[in-house]
Amino acid sequence: MSVVPKRHVAISVVRLLVLLCALLPVLAFAAEGGPKDTLPYEDGLQVLYTSLTGPVPFAISLVGIVACGAMLIFGGEISGFMRTLVFIVLVVAVIVQAASVVTLLGGTNKFSSVLEVQNDSPQVA
């Protein structure tokens, strides 16, 4: 019996894998599909995006920014914990309002244009 070195076994396995990839190209294109092929969580993210960029979140975040600013300016001696909570509310309000502010200033939101393209694409039966 002859002993085959491990290097030759590894080379043979790599050759076999390359041969399989060449003979079965369908496996390489497993993500084929039209524009409607989306991941299962994208519909939920689209609903979340729509609800976070509407007029109600814009108004709530505007009130939050004004209230946090007033508390930081006129709050006097507030504890470190309360100051941290105010900053957290302020940051969340700015993040929620960011897309609306960009749109309000005349900019476009790249994510919303992608959603519009996906929604306008013809449905394939």
Q: 111 Cβ partners below 8 Å, 6+ apart?
A: 49, 99
> Is 66 a residue whose pLDDT tops 60?
yes
pLDDT-derived band of residue 57, with 50, 70 and 90 as boundaries?
A: confident
Mean pLDDT score of the chain, rounded to an integer? 77
pTM of the model: 0.49
pLDDT in tens, 93-109: 888 888 777 777 777 66
Distance, C-alpha 43 to centroid of its chain:
12
Among 107, 91, 109, 117, which Cα is nearest to 53's?
109
Q: pLDDT at position 54, please?
A: 81
Q: pLDDT at position 34, please?
A: 56
Q: 28 Cβ partners below 8 Å, 6+ apart?
A: 21
> Is 32 a residue whose pLDDT tops 80?
no
